């Protein structure tokens, strides 16, 4: 199914000239994180009420006053404190794997954390974060008003692990390697784009539907066969996918 919302990227460049990108958090994880945080603030507010009920035994007025002030401090201070201590994350953001960062990809200063949280009431206008949500959807980097003022963005923090290439390339017996001169010719004739697509296809084979996978490997095998013709005994009985796998091993492993 095609995604309804494509998460945009924040493109950055280091002073050494290296470009990299950070995946911006989409509206759904941000909304879910907000709900988690709201629930935590509400639970904390409930706890404050319970504690103040004890104080109320001595002075009901003082207890009500303290409860009002403490709830206000908790609701305002929760986001500020969490984002300060956890480098841009609240409990909700941690759970949803997102983080607030400076727009330049750097950690935030305290003033940025305070301002983006102080401006929350403006984002909440007129209700249910409608203004903030609309501004975030319209903004290039998904920034609500508080983010625009504080120059911050919300990014995904999902840890990416490198694919297990050794396992991928450690194929079984490769009959095509029995013909080193043809293997060398294949390396010489293949374009980097075709090699890359073949490699990608193998990495993603489990994500493809059966019909699409068969069609893709038939197409790739056809193109690779067109570059170099291996003897019949070397490719006899090889499926299209195994043919592509053998070719990729030739292309991407040490000679």
SS3 133: helix
Residue from the set 1, 85, 138, 160 that interacts with other proteins by CB under 8 A: 160
Does 151 contact other proteins by CB under 8 A?
Answer: yes
Does 162 contact other proteins by CB under 8 A?
Answer: yes
Render 149-181 in DSSP notation, one character per residue.
HHTEEEEE-PPP----HHHHH--S--GGGG-HH
Does 252 contact other proteins by CB under 8 A?
Answer: yes
Burial code of 132-165, b = ≥16 C-beta within 10 A, e = fewer? Answer: bbebbeeeebbbbbbbbebebbbbbbeeeeeeee
Contacts to other proteins from residues 191-250, by CB under 8 A? 192-193, 195-197, 199-200, 203
Residue from the set 94, 103, 179, 218 that interacts with other proteins by CB under 8 A: 103
Contact stretch for other proteins (CB under 8 A) within 27-35, 90-98, 110-118, 232-240: 110-118
Torsion, CA 190, CA 196, CA 202, CA 205, rounded to 10: -130
Contact stretch for other proteins (CB under 8 A) within 15-23, 30-38, 208-216, 237-245: 15-23
Residue from the set 6, 140, 161, 207 that interacts with other proteins by CB under 8 A: 161
- Name the token pair of 25: 């958090």
Nearer to other proteins, 57 or 232 (CB): 57
Nearer to other proteins, 33 or 63 (CB): 63
Does 49 contact other proteins by CB under 8 A?
Answer: no
Query: What residue ranges in the chain does DSSP mark as E strands?
Result: 9-13, 19-23, 98-102, 152-156
């Amino acid at each position: 199914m095609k995604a309804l919302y494509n998460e945009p990227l924040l493109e950055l460049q280091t002073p050494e000239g290296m470009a990299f990108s950070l995946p911006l958090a989409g509206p759904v994880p941000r909304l879910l994180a907000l709900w988690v945080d709201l629930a935590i603030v509400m639970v904390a507010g409930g706890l404050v009420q319970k504690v103040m009920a004890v104080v109320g035994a001595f002075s009901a007025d003082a207890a009500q006053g303290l409860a009002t002030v403490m709830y206000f401090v908790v609701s305002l201070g929760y986001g500020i404190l969490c984002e300060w201590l956890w480098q841009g994350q609240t409990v909700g953001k941690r759970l949803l794997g997102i983080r607030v960062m400076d727009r330049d990809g750097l950690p935030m200063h305290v003033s940025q954390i305070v301002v983006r949280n102080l401006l929350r009431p403006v984002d909440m206008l007129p209700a249910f974060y409608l203004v903030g949500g609309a501004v975030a959807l319209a903004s290039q980097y998904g920034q609500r008003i508080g983010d625009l003022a504080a120059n911050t963005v919300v990014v995904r923090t999902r840890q990416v692990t490198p694919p297990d290439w050794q396992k991928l390339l450690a194929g079984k017996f490769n009959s095509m390697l029995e013909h080193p001169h043809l293997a060398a010719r294949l390396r010489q004739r293949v374009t980097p784009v075709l090699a890359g697509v073949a490699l990608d296809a193998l990495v993603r084979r489990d994500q493809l539907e059966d019909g699409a996978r068969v069609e893709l490997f038939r197409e790739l095998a056809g193109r690779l066969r067109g570059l170099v013709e291996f003897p019949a005994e070397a490719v006899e009985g090889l499926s299209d996918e195994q043919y592509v796998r053998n070719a990729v091993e030739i292309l991407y492993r040490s000679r």
